[in-house]
Structure 1
Amino acid sequence: MKRAFIIHGWGATPADHWFPWLSGSLQQHGFAVDTPALPNPTAPVFADWQRTLARHIGTPQPDDLYIAHSLGNITLLHYLSQARPAKIGGLILVSGFAAKLPKLPEIDGYSMDNYVEQARLDLPAIRAATPNIVCIVSGNDAIVAPEESGKLAAALNAPVIRVANAGHFLASDGFTELPQVLQAAEGFCSQ
Structure 2
Amino acid sequence: MRSTDATLLIVPGWQGSDADHWQSRWERALSSARRVEQADWERPDRVDWPRRLAAAVAAADKPVVVVAHSLGVPTLLHAAPLLPPGKVKGAFLVAPPDLDAPGLPAVLAPFAPVPTAPLPFPSVLIASRTDPYCAFDRAEGFALDWGSALVDAGDAGHIGSASGFGPWPEGSMRLLGFLQSLK
Name the CA distance, whole Å, in 1 between partners of 2:141 and 2:176: 25
Q: 1:148 to 1:25 in 2, by over 3 A?
A: farther
**Is 2:119 aligned against 1:115?**
no
With 72-81 and 84-93 compared, the bigger mean Cα shift is at: 84-93
Task: Name the residue aligned to 1:154.
Answer: 144
Structure 1 residue 21: deviation in Å?
1.8
Moved over 3 A (4+): 13-16, 59-62
The answer as to 2:155 corresponding to 1:165 is yes
Structure-2 separation of matches of 1:70 and 1:10: 7
| Equivalent in the alignment of 1:26 | 30
Does the CA contact (< 8 Å) of 2:63 and 2:88 recur in 1? Answer: yes
CA distance in structure 1 between the aligned counterparts of 2:180 and 2:159, rounded to whole angstroms: 26
Q: Which residue of 1 aligns with 2:92?
A: 92
Contact 2:127 2:150 in 1 (8 A): yes
The one-letter code sitting in structure 2 at the alignment partner of 1:123 is A
Superposed, 1:69-88 pairs within 5 Å as: 69-83=69-83, 85-86=85-86, 88=88
Q: Using a 3 Å threshold, how does the CA distance of structure 1 residues 138 and 93 change in structure 2: closer, same or farther?
A: same
The letter for the 2-side match of 1:58 is: A
State the TM-score, normalizing by the size of structure 1: 0.78
Offset of 1:6 from its aligned partner?
0.9
Superposition CA RMSD, Å:
2.6
Deviation at 1:171, TM superposition (A): 0.9
Cα displacement (A) at 1:87: 5.3
Equivalences for 1:124-143 in 2 at 5 Å? 124=118, 126=119, 129-130=120-121, 132-143=122-133
CA offset at residue 184 of structure 1? 2.9
Name the SS for the 1:77 alignment partner.
helix
Given the superposition, is the C-alpha separation of residues 62 and 153 from structure 1 closer, same or farther in structure 2, using an over 3 Å criterion? farther
Q: TM-score, normalised by structure 2?
A: 0.81
| Superposed CA offset, 1:105-131 (max 9, x none) | x41xx34222324x7x4733x2xx33x
Q: Which runs of 5+ in 2 are unaligned?
A: none
Q: Give 5+ residue unaligned stretches, structure 1.
A: none
| Paired-residue identity, % | 24
Paired residue total: 177
Using the alignment, how far apart are the partners of 2:18 and 2:53 within structure 1? 14
Please say if residues 101 and 144 of structure 1, whose CA atoms lie closer than 8 Å, have aligned partners that are also in contact: no
Residues 1:61 and 1:147: Cα distance change in structure 2 (over 3 Å): farther
Question: Are the structure 2 counterparts of residues 62 and 133 from structure 1 closer, same or farther at C-alpha, using a change threshold of 3 Å?
Answer: farther
